[in-house]
Amino acid sequence: MLKKLAALVIAPVAALGLAVSLTGLTSATALTGSNSTGSTVGTVPQCAWHLDGVLADVVLSHDDATKYKGLDFGISGSSSSVDSYVAPVASSSKPASPGVDDCSWYTSQASASVTISTDASPGFTSSSFAGDTSMDFSLSDSSHKLTATVSPSCDSPWTAPTGGDNDIYGSHVSGVATSITKLNTTTRSACSYTVGFAATVPAGKSPTHAGSNYAMTGPTLTTTLVTSTS
Nearest approach in angstroms of CB 42 to other proteins is: 19
Given the rule CB under 8 A, which of 3-11, 17-25, 150-158, 214-222 is the region that contacts other proteins? 214-222
Out of 23, 26, 93, 212, which residue is the one contacting other proteins (CB under 8 A)?
93
Separation of alpha carbons 56 and 58, rounded Å = 7
Query: What does each C-alpha distance from 38 to 34, 68, 103, 107 come to in angstroms?
Result: 11, 77, 25, 26
Quick check: 225 binds other proteins (CB under 8 A)? yes
The conformation of residue 229, written as its DSSP 8-state character, comes to -
Given the rule CB under 8 A, which of 30-38, 90-98, 155-163, 202-210 is the region that contacts other proteins? 90-98
Nearest approach in angstroms of CB 54 to other proteins is: 4
Nearest approach in angstroms of CB 208 to other proteins is: 17
Query: What does each C-alpha distance from 198 to 76, 77, 185, 206, 218 come to in angstroms?
Result: 4, 7, 33, 22, 11
Quick check: 50 binds other proteins (CB under 8 A)? yes
Nearest approach in angstroms of CB 221 to other proteins is: 5
Phi then psi dihedrals of residue 137, to 5 deg:
-150, 145
Q: Using the minimum distance from each CB to other proteins, give the nearer residue, 1 or 96.
A: 96
Burial class (CB in 10 A: 0-12, 13-18, 19+), 168: buried
Subset of 148-177 contacting other proteins (CB under 8 A): 173
Q: Identify the bridge partners of residue 78 per DSSP, sorted by sequence position.
A: 196
Separation of alpha carbons 190 and 129, rounded Å = 44
Q: Using the minimum distance from each CB to other proteins, give the nearer residue, 20 or 203.
A: 203
| Residue 5 backbone class (left: φ over 0; alpha: ψ -120 to 50; beta: rest) | alpha
Out of 7, 71, 210, 226, which residue is the one contacting other proteins (CB under 8 A)?
226
- Rg over alpha carbons for the chain, rounded to the nearest Å, is 29
Total interface residues for other proteins by CB under 8 A? 58
Subset of 103-122 contacting other proteins (CB under 8 A): 107-108, 110, 115, 117, 119-120
The distance in angstroms from the start CA to the end CA of the chain is 69
Quick check: 41 binds other proteins (CB under 8 A)? no
Which residues sit at the interface with other proteins, rule CB under 8 A? 46, 48-61, 75, 77, 79-80, 83, 89-93, 107-108, 110, 115, 117, 119-120, 124, 127, 146, 173, 182-183, 197, 199, 213-230
